[in-house]
Amino acid sequence: MAVAPSKLLEWPLNRLHCSRVLHSRPYQSCTQALLWNIFRNHVSSAKYYSPLLLFPLLTKRHQLNRNVLRDIIRNYAQSASFAACLNAFTFYFMCIARRINGRFVCSWTPLLSCWLSSQICWWMPPPVLLYFVTGTTHAALESMLRQLNVGLVHSQLGQTFIFMICSLVVLHFQQLRKYSGFWFIKPSALPKDFCDWSLGKRLKHSVNQLGTYLGIGFALDLVNALTQRDLKPLQKLRTTGFLGTYIGIFKLVQCLLLGKVFDLNVTNLVAGFLSGSAYIFLNRLTFMSFAIVIAIQVIWQQFCAGTSGKSQVLELLKSMPLAKLLIPCNLAYLVHIFFYHEKCLNTLAKNFIDCTCDHNGQRLLDLMRLPNVSTIMSTVNKFPIMPFL
């Protein structure tokens, strides 16, 4: 039977030297291990964040110019670099805490070490900051729901209803052109004389955009199958079904109701809510958690735009760096869950943590999963004890 990772906090494993447990290569001091991790993490992070480079190049291929290309490459490089340094310093601070305390302690292994290293988010540029706070917040929210085992985790109907509400919020402000950030679909603006069109002409106009999203969905399903080296996901085409149904319901509601039952704003509210039922194709808590985070961001954005100069308290609240306060807490919680409650973590968060640290996290977990304490001790005692510098 494998040893639980929490055994690292108990005798005799908690007395193991950091150079024998945390360092990815033997004969490295803690500082040498930091420098090696920074280098290797940049390599692994560059691979992990490659979609961040390739996807915008595909979606913005018609708008590409020198400035757009420079922004895409800069965001890619900065995201990979911040993730690489964050993980490297997390292991470094665990080494420091092990040396100061004389043993591995729960608060620093890895919770506070990750929280401290995550303070580099204060130097993140706005696009990278938004990317990190969105990704870490929805992953932390999902992990917390799973850890607490709330009823919503097991309720497909409940998840679908929440996603529909989030869809209503985001698409409403998107159609009003008050939100331009990421969402699963972005229905095109309707022609001014759309209300005068016949139903047949409306449907023909809507089919064009439906085809576009079916193509995007199939491409994503294909990439997912190739990445996993398994063609079985292509049999279900979940992303294709989700995006096609999502945009299809939205455009169908517009065709049937606009100008005949409701005006444009009300029609878009109804369409945004009903089209959110496409979530049933996904039925994944990850997407619901992500939708909640995006909806909250949209509401907060509108709140900040609408309360300018009204109250000193509101101005103080708006000036708070909430993203920079959230990221360290989110990451510290996620890394803690990764090590002690891995089953509560979704695949996306696991890959982020492990792939941006050159699989050092998984290496440590694999070490703790050896059959017994004696096997772990005999494995690590082969390595020498190295100095800090």
Residue 62 has pLDDT above 80, yes or no: no
The per-residue pLDDT for range 221-246, each reduced to its tens digit, is: 787 777 666 666 566 788 888 999 99
Separation CA 341–CA 363 (nearest Å): 16
Which has more confidence, 239 or 38? 38
The per-residue pLDDT for range 244-267, each reduced to its tens digit, is: 999 999 999 999 998 888 888 999
Residue 95 has a pLDDT of: 94
Token pair for 289: 């958690």
Q: 3-state class of 111 per DSSP?
A: helix
Token pair for 64: 């590409």
Task: Round the average pLDDT of the chain to a whole number and report it.
Answer: 88
Q: How many CB atoms lie within 10 A of CB 305?
A: 10
Residue 139 has pLDDT above 80, yes or no: yes
Residue 226 has a pLDDT of: 73
**What's the whole-model pTM score?**
0.90
Q: CB burial class (10 A; 0-12, 13-18, 19+) of residue 291?
A: buried
Residue 196 has a pLDDT of: 83
Q: Which residues pair with 258 in a beta bridge?
A: 262
- Asked if residues 106 and 5 have their Cβ atoms less than 8 Å apart, the reply is no
Separation CA 85–CA 119 (nearest Å): 11
Residue 1 has a pLDDT of: 40
Stretch 309-327: mean pLDDT: 82
Stretch 287-312: mean pLDDT: 85
Q: Shortest CA distance to 8 belongs to which of 89, 88, 108, 100?
A: 108
Percent of the chain residues past pLDDT 90, beyond the cut: 50
Report domain extents, the chain.
5-123+358-380, 155-319
- Asked if residues 325 and 265 have their Cβ atoms less than 8 Å apart, the reply is no
Q: Would you mind telling me the total number of residues written for the chain in this entry?
A: 389
Percent of the chain residues past pLDDT 70, beyond the cut: 94
Which has more confidence, 188 or 42? 42
Residue 217 has pLDDT above 90, yes or no: no
- Asked if residues 250 and 213 have their Cβ atoms less than 8 Å apart, the reply is no
- pLDDT-based confidence at residue 197 (cuts at 50, 70, 90): confident
